[in-house]
Amino acid sequence: MYEPIHGSAPDIAGRGMANPLASMLSAAMMLRWSFGLHKEADELEGAIDGFLAEGYRTADIASSGQSALQTSKVGDMIAAQVGG
């Protein structure tokens, strides 16, 4: 089973505040270690690394005064980089 340490964050469900990056990294681990899809895992991890390197953040990891993205926007941006 692959799950981020924080679980599913039911206290903020539906509010667009959750940081989906740990869930995505858990999916990359699943691709790599359960399915042997190393290239695909690398691609997903690379998209996340690039996202963070560009300075994008969710509210929980944004610096003071830094704009934060909602959960769905983060997902859309990462998805656009994977296989795109």
* pLDDT of the residue at 11: 87
Is 55 contained in some domain? yes
Is 9 contained in some domain? no
* pLDDT of the residue at 4: 77
Is 43 contained in some domain? yes
Task: List the pLDDT tens digit at each of the 84 positions of the chain.
Answer: 787 776 677 888 899 999 999 999 999 999 999 999 999 999 999 999 999 999 999 999 999 999 999 999 999 999 999 976
**SS3 per-residue string spanning 21-82:** HHHHHHHHHHHHHCCCCHHHHHHHHHHHHHHHHCCCCECCCCCCCCCCECHHHHHHHHHHHC
How many structural domains comprise the chain? 1
* pLDDT of the residue at 84: 64
**Whole-structure pTM value:** 0.89
Is 53 contained in some domain? yes
Between helix 71-81 and helix 38-53 the angle, nearest 10°, is: 120
* pLDDT of the residue at 5: 74
Is 77 contained in some domain? yes
Domain ranges, residue 47 = 19-81
